Amino acid sequence: MNNAMSIIFASDNESKLNELTLHRTTASLPFGGRYRCIDFALSNLVNSSVTTIGIITRSNYSSLMDHIRMGRDWDLNRKNSGIAVFPPYASNTSTNVFKGKIEALYGILDYIENSDDEYVIVTNSNIIASIDFDEVYEAHLASKADITMLTYTSQPTTSRRVLVESDLSGRVRGMKITRNASDQVSEVGLSCYLFNRKQLIQLVTDSYERGKMDFERDILQANIDSLNIHAYKVAGHAALVDDVKSYYKESMAILDGDIRDSLFYSVGKVFTKVKDSVPTRYCEGAKVVNSLIADGCKINGTVENSILFRGVVVEEGAEIRNSIVMEGGRIMKMSRLNFAITDKDVTVTEDKTLSGSEAYPVVVVKNKTV
Please state, in angstroms and as integers, the Cα–Cα distance from residue 215 to each residue in 3, 106, 146, 258, 347, following that order: 24, 11, 16, 34, 42
The burial of 332, by beta-carbon neighbours within 10 Å (0-12 exposed, 13-18 middle, 19 or more buried), is given as buried
Is residue 111 involved in binding another protein (CB under 8 A)? no
Distance of alpha carbon 352 from alpha carbon 192, whole angstroms: 43
Among 42, 292, 314, 348, binds another protein (CB under 8 A): 292
Total residues binding another protein (CB under 8 A): 37
Among 155, 281, 316, 349, binds another protein (CB under 8 A): 281
By CB under 8 A, is residue 274 in contact with another protein? yes
Query: In degrees rounded to 5, what are phi and psi of residue 340?
Result: -125, 150
Q: Which range of residues in 62-70, 81-89, 189-197, 270-278 is near another protein by CB under 8 A?
A: 270-278
Q: Which of 1, 9, 12, 32 binds another protein (CB under 8 A)?
A: 32
Of the residues 85, 255, 259, 334, which one makes contact with another protein according to CB under 8 A: 255
From the CB of residue 93, how many other CB atoms can be counted at a distance below 10 Å?
Answer: 5
Exactly one of 16, 23, 72, 160 binds another protein (CB under 8 A); that residue is 72
16, 171, 260, 352: which one contacts another protein (CB under 8 A)?
A: 260
- Does 79 participate in binding another protein (rule CB under 8 A)? no
Candidates 8, 56, 68, 294: give the one binding another protein (CB under 8 A): 294
Report the candidate in 328, 331, 279 with the shortest Cα–Cα distance to residue 303: 331
**Distance of closest approach, residue 292 Cβ to another protein, in angstroms:** 5
Assess contact for 291 and 303: CB atoms under 8 A.
yes
Give the residue among 30, 31, 28, 35 at the shortest CA–CA distance from 11.
28
CA 20 to chain centre: 13
Question: Does the footprint of another protein cover residue 291 (CB under 8 A)?
Answer: yes
Of positions 251, 272, 323, 335, contacts another protein by CB under 8 A: 272
**Does residue 211 touch another protein according to CB under 8 A?**
no
Going 170 to 176 to 178 to 184, the CA torsion angle's sign is negative
Cβ neighbors of 72 (< 8 A, separation 6 or more) are none
> Looking at beta carbons only, is 105 or 308 nearer to another protein?
308
In 3D, which of 310, 308, 249, 301 has the Cα closest to residue 276? 310
Q: Min. distance of Cβ 276 from another protein in angstroms?
A: 5
Stretch binding another protein (CB under 8 A), from 126-134, 220-228, 264-272, 342-350: 264-272
Q: Please state the closest distance from residue 363 (CB atom) to another protein, in A.
A: 21
- H-run or E-run covering 365: none
For another protein, the binding residue among 114, 182, 202, 290 (CB under 8 A) is: 290
Classified as helix, coil or strand, 135 is: helix
Rg (CA), the chain: 21
Minimum CB separation from another protein for residue 191, in Å?
A: 24
Residue (115 or 291) nearer to another protein, CB: 291
Measured between alpha carbons, how far is 221 from 233 in angstroms, rounded to an integer?
Answer: 18
Binding to another protein by residue 86, rule CB under 8 A?
A: no
Among residues 69, 99, 179, 269, which is the contact residue for another protein, using CB under 8 A?
Answer: 269
Residues that bind another protein (CB under 8 A): 32-34, 72, 255, 257, 260, 263-264, 269-272, 274, 276, 278-284, 286-296, 298, 303, 307-308
